Amino acid sequence: PCALVISIPLSFFGGIGGASRCGILIKGGNYLEALANTSIAVFDKTGTLTKGVFAVSQVSPANGCTEKELLEQAALAESFSSHPISKSLREACGELDARRATDAQEIAGHGVRTMVDGHVVLAGNARMMDDSKITYTKNTGTGTVVYVARDGQFLGSVLIADEVKEHSKQAIAALKAQGVRTIMLTGDSEAVASEISGQLGLDEYHAGLLPGDKVDQIETLLAAKQPKENLAFVGDGINDAPVLSRADVGIAMGALGSDAAIEAADVVLMDDDPAKIALAMRIARRTLRIVYQNIVFALAIKFACLVLGALGLASMWTAIFADVGVMVLAVLNATRALYTKDLAKKNAQ
């Protein structure tokens, strides 16, 4: 029936168009349908639930090193990196002569190894110190800890704090209200992950993960979910691209997210607002409801017309209504998917 052929694609187009008005880019009707059936939402932490704007909150020198020297060595070691943590170190240190640093090597999930003034400087997490057999003093502060060592000698640690996004708590609450299970995956320490999880009310979290560990966690969650359930992963960094591709629905932050993450994702939030995830799901579910309404309405009228025709009770006008009339009504119903103001208002509340 033409009512189905026209109205069903139009409903999906309307849903995608309505979402784009709200700053949500959905790359196809199949992803809209997958989003409607999502029951598990997995989040990266930095840049997704938090602002990704780091600031140095504590400097803890060791072995006769001064605070200024510790910050300087950390900032020079990180001078080639574009990571938000690296930027915060450079900002805290002030003026730097980047020519003092050479041969920088970024070690994924660990930190950086850089030649500074002819010395080997390591700046990274506890895992990097352990792998390099460096004795260090553990920093138990809440935040991201950067341990610094020079020529195998521990210089101290720098504590860097990140802020939770304004709408992150609202986003988690809105998802849980829709029956979605919320999980956070992060490479940060257990203390940081526990505090962020408690602030936001997440159902579950996993800390201290390397990029490959995140893929393993997603594989475990995918294997444990029900056949008709979908899993969405929300991330923004280049390391999140493999996980975004592996999830049933990959959702990327479009404003500050990396190009690799945006390319790999199925849905892009153009303003980096995590509260838009619940809105996207509402739009997707209403779009599917409209699709099902059109299917039931069109087929019911067709079958009713066939029965009336078999009984000799159907006129030409009945047949015209069952064909053209139903098509017009189904199309008008499909256009409802374009209007999302009511859903956006409900999501804001």
Task: Give the strand order in the sheet containing 204-206.
Answer: 24-26, 267-269, 249-253, 230-235, 38-44, 181-185, 204-206
State the amino acid at position 193 in one-letter form: A
The DSSP output letter for 83 is S
Q: DSSP letters along 94-110, please?
A: -S--GGGEEEEEEETTT
C-alpha dihedral over 167, 203, 192, 241, to 10 degrees? -70
Q: What single-letter amino acid sits at 322?
A: A
In three-state secondary structure terms, 172 is helix
Exactly one of 44, 162, 236, 248 is catalytic; which is it?
44
Nearest partner of 243 among 172, 305, 313, 185, judged by Cα: 185
Query: Catalytic residue at 44?
Result: yes
DSSP notation for 238-279: GGGHHHHHHSSEEEEESSSS-HHHHHH-SEEETT--TTHHHH
CA distance 210 to 213: 5
- Would you tell me the crossing angle of helices 190-200 and 168-177 to the nearest 10 degrees? 60
CA terminus-to-terminus distance, the chain: 40
- 76 closest CA partner among 109, 107, 108, 122: 122
β-pairing verdict for 267-269 and 24-26: antiparallel
Residue 89 in tokens = 């170190």
Kindly give the pairing relationship between strand 267-269 and strand 249-253.
Answer: parallel
Q: Which sequence positions are flagged as catalytic?
A: 44
